[in-house]
């Protein structure tokens, strides 16, 4: 098993990237009970932002990451006010179709503006590889891994210990009781959505040095993120992180054993199986998914 160290390294690096996308999704899913089908499109926009900042003004993606932070909060807040806010109390069908419509509109806006060409951010260090033991690491992947862990840990701490985080968790548990306790639940939803979108937008910027960007780039990542979110238990930050690594394991081992062509089938079947057998996820309480659903 000379390939084992490399398999483990690839799994951890890939898993951290999936986790990065999944944390924002699980936050929105957990607190607002909304499946955001437009999540991948914000990832795609983040990748395009990094690409254009790099191509037009020569910003390194990691510089863009810092500079664009306020921008992502603005994008999140504006999209909540315009699109999500009015339907946050509507039925699930309305929410599903609103985010699906949002996803189609954003995807094709990118198609019209920037064509369907796959574009790459070619930094000086894109091919730099670090070797430890028998495993090879791409520098950009290592950075993405570090930031993903930091972001997830930060979000986890925020939800657990800050007052705002407690308010958000209370709203997630029971929106009516929270409102009775004087919590402005609409503001909580606005904040949740904004933070979730900011997370995925930043994730997009972070992925730009590793993956090519095109208008439908978000879809492949977000499908995996859904798997991680459901597997981890809705709204469970740490669960999403562990589940993301699990999904990456399936993918890495699957492509090593049966080839890359069929790896997607593996995790999609895994996804359907989890949905059917344990919709509350590995760590969630049985039946929790039916509450508020």
The C-alpha atoms of residue 147 and residue 197 are separated, in whole angstroms, by: 16
Is residue 269 a contact point for other proteins (CB under 8 A)? yes
Q: How far is residue 62's CA from residue 86's CA, in Å, rounded to a whole number?
A: 35
| Segment near other proteins (CB under 8 A); pick from 62-70, 128-136, 180-188, 219-227 | 219-227
- Report the residue number, 56 or 112, with the smaller CB distance to other proteins: 112
For the CB of residue 90, give the shortest distance to other proteins in the complex, in Å. 8
| C-beta of 100 vs 118, nearer to other proteins | 100
Q: How far is the CB of 35 from other proteins (least distance, A)?
A: 4
Residue 288 binding other proteins, by CB under 8 A: no
Q: Please select the residue that binds other proteins; options are 59, 189, 221, 271, rule is CB under 8 A.
A: 271
Among 64, 68, 98, 249, binds other proteins (CB under 8 A): 98
> Minimum distance between the CB of residue 258 and other proteins, rounded to whole angstroms?
11
Buried b (16+ CB within 10 A) or exposed e, 220-252: ebbebbbbbbbbbbbbbbbbbbbbbbbbbbbbb
- Position 264 contacts other proteins (CB under 8 A): yes
Among 83, 149, 183, 288, binds other proteins (CB under 8 A): 83
If the CB atoms of residues 59 and 214 are measured against other proteins, the closer one turns out to be: 214
Q: Does 87 bind other proteins (CB under 8 A)?
A: yes
Ranges within 106-165 binding other proteins (CB under 8 A): 106-109, 111-112, 115
**Least Cβ distance, residue 207 to other proteins (angstroms):** 21
* 276 sits near other proteins (criterion: CB under 8 A): yes
Nearest distance, CB of residue 62 and other proteins, angstroms: 31
- Using the contact rule CB under 8 A, the part of the chain among 48-56, 90-98, 149-157, 185-193 near other proteins is 90-98
């Amino acid at each position: 098993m000379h390939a084992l160290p490399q398999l483990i390294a690839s799994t951890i690096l890939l898993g951290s990237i999936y986790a990065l996308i999944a944390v924002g999704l699980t936050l929105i899913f957990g607190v607002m009970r909304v499946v955001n089908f437009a999540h991948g499109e914000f990832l795609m926009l983040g990748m395009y932002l990094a690409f254009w900042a790099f191509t037009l003004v020569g910003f390194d993606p990691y510089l863009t990451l810092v500079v664009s932070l306020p921008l992502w909060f603005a994008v999140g807040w504006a999209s909540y006010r315009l699109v999500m806010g009015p339907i946050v109390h509507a039925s699930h069908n309305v929410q599903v179709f609103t985010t699906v419509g949002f996803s189609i509109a954003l995807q094709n806006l990118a198609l019209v503006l920037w064509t369907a060409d796959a574009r790459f951010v070619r930094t000086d260090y894109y091919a730099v590889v670090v070797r430890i033991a028998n495993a090879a690491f791409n520098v950009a992947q290592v950075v993405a891994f570090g930031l993903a862990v930091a972001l997830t840990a930060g979000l986890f701490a925020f939800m657990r210990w800050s007052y705002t985080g407690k308010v958000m968790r209370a709203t997630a548990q029971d929106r009516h009781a929270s409102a009775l306790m004087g919590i402005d639940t609409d503001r909580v939803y606005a904040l949740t959505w904004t933070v979730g979108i900011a997370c995925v937008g930043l994730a997009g910027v972070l992925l730009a040095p590793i993956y090519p960007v095109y208008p439908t780039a978000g879809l492949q990542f977000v499908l995996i993120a859904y798997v991680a979110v459901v597997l981890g238990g809705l709204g469970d930050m740490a669960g999403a992180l562990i589940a993301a690594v699990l999904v990456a394991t399936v993918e890495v081992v699957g492509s090593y054993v049966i080839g890359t062509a069929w790896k997607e089938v593996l995790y999609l079947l895994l996804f359907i199986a989890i949905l059917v057998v344990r919709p509350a996820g590995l760590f969630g309480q049985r039946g929790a998914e039916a509450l508020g659903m």
